[in-house]
Structure 1
């Protein structure tokens, strides 16, 4: 090889090495900085400590079994709020930007952290550690499980984690917005709790077909299992091993109240109504007014009796002050809102619904006995009289609980959402749940009748 060719070879070699170096540099730069958007299903967990005010499963020991002790992650990194557990396809150190949490890194794995397509998940799973004790538990429950669009940066040492979970975050703002709109359950409920709110939860889950036990106002095993079944059906959790299983937290409360509200809306007209209007919407209004104790016929016609009943309702609830007021006797948005609230009160357990009644009216004669096909007596006569007021029974009271009465009770149960078909447990029988609903209606009817009488007496003075 001559000198000229040798110099040429060296120059080419240097150029090739330079090009390869540049390609390697740009390839590394592209891999490190090729951020992309991806939707993940993100759940949350925490680590319990002794002496907390509450535990999601009811005790420190069982919370430890569910969540672990929370000392070090799978790659040896000490745990910190916002630390991420991801499927094995995401290398330790992978950086992500999660709205409501911040810039985070993958440091952990987990049995429930699976890929899209596994266990029915549409997206890859992530799990975020929310801290220790009550504050960590509160964050984890507030977060729940969500589908979130995340920016994935890959392994990039230049991007530093920046978690902003401390204090009031967008994540908590999201949940507080939900909680602030909830009317039925203002606080979380869990295993071992007792009281009126637990009784309401039992009643609502019983109405929805999840709870089969007694309304004893205690959050025990049977109620726990019912809440788990509801959560699984509503895609809040996947199984009873997940964090929050069996606990009535913000997401579960929100789902339950949304279902209850939708059931109520189905029973009420959603359009403005006035004199001479006809149809199913008018029937819904008439049925609702009858439940509240107003003496009208369900005929689907907005006749003068319906106008008078609506006017009575409006005056009793301070919607209008006289029959000459704007909107008097007319069913509009404000009347709908108040009517919905009054009917909601009827869905509460009877002991709860009577708390706001005047003392003299809370002593109305309630039904205390279960009744079924073949029973006879005065209680059957009273039941038949009430069913006639709802236009559910056409025969005169006989005192005999026959098939006609059984069918009328079934219609009442279906109207209240207690059963959906004749094959459902308790269909057509006047049992504890059906009695509770009817007694609530009777209590409010007594209260309304007293208000009407008081207003009439005042007007006569």
Structure 2
């Protein structure tokens, strides 16, 4: 419920008008509480403020703008108000969810470190929750971020579920659902035979191998061994989601116009189509390992540029001038390699600028 609490005015929050006064309040303490509140969004309600010495209070306070059913319907499956250096299961679940969508590429640790901050930031930018690193709540897992991530995870799961066969299939069953199961197991390397639509011994053996790999069962005699039940269905769902995450986005074959490609020096936290183009080209050469192309020059892009610069002898160490920055020297080197590889068809499609925007780079 909404409950009852104490409001401490920090000064300057009460705004007077002709017919009423406005007071801005939030749950929490100080700037940290304000930051969490801003992530939750603004709710405007009308009520009565009683002085602290008032002896008679209203029995009920009505909040006409707050719908409990709306809050229940839109509640997040993930915790919110989680930030840097927090630890625990809530952080672990956030990391797992971001990993499913391809934003988090590190090991799931349960520690909200810089890698998690960067993953949350990338998700927030692409989800249009924030526009840049200077926005309040950037990299912080607030309520809006939690709701948006839960919604996307649910959408991904629903999409994958449409591809899966129904639960409860077992030996002797036949039909399109069995054939669908065989096709999926074949793609995963468990079923080597022709897809017949008949759940026989070979399908049972394939399901059993999958169950053991995913620790659904340990032995052939365990309950449900070789049977496509709820536990196996869940394991298959998770496996397919992981595969969807690992499938890289097809690089665009369309070349950018002259004024759009590499027209500026790029560095950490820059955003734009030129960043995405850079990621595409670095992916072609095996440097950009992130599952999805983005428009944000994050740590993954910086790591890719660093690796490229070292291989091309542009820098020796990460502390060298221009390390991790996509500047004129790095641009010209990439241009040369792309020409040799045939990715760029004409000089007219390339604009390499030696002008430096905000940061010096090689």
The answer to whether the superposition gives a TM-score over 0.5 is: no
Going by fraction, where is strand more abundant, 1 or 2? 1
Instruction: Report the structure number with the largest CA radius of gyration.
Output: 1
**Of Structure 1 and Structure 2, which has the larger fraction of its residues in helix?**
1
